[in-house]
Amino acid sequence: MARVMTDCRRFPSESNCSLVIIGEEDEVVRAATEHAISVHGHPDTPELREEVHSFIEPAEAYNPGPRAQEPMPG
């Protein structure tokens, strides 16, 4: 199974979070959901899991350099 990632640098956040999570999709969704709740203060809802799914990118898209921010979807 191909690995995927979520990259907090992609979206604006109050803490300017730089966390990247890479792993298999179910691992990334679980870790990113817990991270969104504990660090970014998102409510723990089914909608949050849907939102996390929409943040997923292929792991090959990872680039250690600076990244342009995109507006938060939705």
Establish if 17 lies at the interface with Zn ion (CB under 5 A).
yes
Establish if 21 lies at the interface with Zn ion (CB under 5 A).
no
DSSP, collapsed to helix, strand or coil, labels residue 59 as: helix
Establish if 48 lies at the interface with Zn ion (CB under 5 A).
no
Least spacing, CB of residue 46 vs Zn ion, in Å: 20
E strand or H helix at 7, and its extent?
A: strand 4-7
Distance CA 36, CA 31 (A): 9
Whether 6 and 55 have beta carbons less than 8 Å apart is answered as: yes
- Residue span binding Zn ion (CB under 5 A) among the ranges 19-27, 42-50, 51-59, 61-69: 19-27
Residues that bind Zn ion (CB under 5 A): 8, 17, 19
